[in-house]
């Protein structure tokens, strides 16, 4: 099965092509508004390099967030266009799941942390003792200190005397000091190359969703938001009379709510 994987939900992103579960082409770069919107052109060049036609694609995998509001919308829109125009299934992948999948076959609990704003982060905890991450508990959004205290409260560090938790993602790097101050030697900060989801990993995970029948119609695909964007927050904080004015002819600027 030939599947394209798309990720623009964090500050790194790109596209990948897989054939029968094997990554055959992958492009990843620091994401800006400009280069994330040019990924369709990158995909076209990748297809040409492989001798594929876009009609050879049999599925689309896309990371749906949480992460950057603007970036996630761009990737989801690209997936919707491909899925609808080619009439192929879409496998939606939660960004936190994809980050956790960067470190398979580890005995440590894995906690991806994605920056939202200020000291607010998105996170979840996983067991990744096999090829696929298994989420423990729920997806969360909260202050970094609350995230660490919740990990301690839920007992992830009590199984063995020297048990540790591995933290991944841009939030783990940004809040490294807070994490280490609260957990000391029980915190393992993953290396910088595990900051975000790899497009190839997203493609493989999306292919698994499709194979299992967990597909999303292009018309129903939406980003996985766990908080309000900056524009929405600014709108809600305005006085009622100002909101009434703003709801006339002008559109709010498209802003990031994440990294």
For residue range 11-47, list pLDDT tens digits in order: 888 999 999 999 999 999 886 666 566 899 999 999 9
| CA gap 225, 228 in Å, rounded | 7
User: Using the 8-state DSSP alphabet, how is residue 127 labeled?
Assistant: E
Q: Where are the domains of the chain?
A: 2-95+196-211, 103-194
> The domain 2-95+196-211 belongs to what CATH superfamily?
ATPase, nucleotide binding domain (3.30.420.40)
> The domain 103-194 belongs to what CATH superfamily?
ATPase, nucleotide binding domain (3.30.420.40)
| CA gap 143, 148 in Å, rounded | 9
Instruction: Show the tokens assigned to 107.
Output: 């005995």
- Dihedral sign from CA coordinates of 196, 174, 116, 188: positive
- What pLDDT is recorded for position 13? 83
| CA gap 16, 200 in Å, rounded | 5
- What pLDDT is recorded for position 81? 96
Q: Which helix (H) or strand (E) holds 121?
A: strand 120-127
- What pLDDT is recorded for position 244? 41
| CA gap 84, 73 in Å, rounded | 16
- What pLDDT is recorded for position 228? 56
Tell me if 2-95+196-211 shares its fold with 103-194: yes
- Radius of gyration, alpha carbons of the chain: 19
Q: What's the 3-state SS for 175-227? A: CHHHHHHHHHHHEEECCHHHCCCCHHHHHHHHHHHHHCCCCECCCCCCCCCCC
Token look-up 């829109």 returns 77
pLDDT tier, 9 (very low <50, low <70, confident <90, very high otherwise): very high
* pTM listed for this prediction: 0.84
């Amino acid at each position: 099965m030939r599947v394209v994987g798309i990720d623009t939900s964090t500050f790194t992103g790109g596209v990948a092509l897989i054939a029968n579960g094997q990554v055959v082409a992958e492009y990843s770069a620091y994401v800006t508004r400009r280069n994330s919107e040019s990924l369709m052109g990158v995909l076209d060049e990748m297809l040409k390099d492989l001798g594929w036609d876009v009609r050879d694609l049999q599925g689309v995998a896309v990371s749906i967030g949480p992460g950057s509001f603007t970036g996630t919308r761009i990737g989801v829109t690209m997936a919707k266009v491909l899925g609808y125009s080619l009439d192929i299934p879409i496998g939606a992948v939660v960004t936190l799941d994809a980050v956790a999948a960067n470190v398979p076959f580890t005995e440590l609990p894995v906690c991806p942390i994605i920056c939202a704003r200020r000291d607010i982060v998105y996170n979840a905890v996983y067991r990744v003792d096999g090829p696929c991450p298994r989420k423990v508990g729920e997806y969360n959004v909260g202050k970094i200190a609350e995230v660490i205290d919740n990990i301690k409260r839920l007992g992830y560090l009590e199984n063995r005397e020297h048990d540790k938790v591995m933290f991944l993602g841009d939030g783990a790097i940004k809040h490294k000091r807070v994490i280490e101050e609260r957990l000391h030697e029980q915190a393992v900060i993953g290396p910088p190359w595990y900051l975000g989801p790899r497009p190839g990993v997203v493609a493989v995970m999306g292919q698994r969703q499709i194979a299992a029948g967990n597909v999303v119609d292009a018309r129903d695909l939406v980003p996985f938001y766990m908080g309000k964007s900056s524009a929405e927050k600014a709108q809600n904080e305005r006085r009622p009379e100002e909101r009434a004015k703003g709801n006339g002819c002008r559109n709010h600027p498209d802003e990031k709510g994440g990294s």
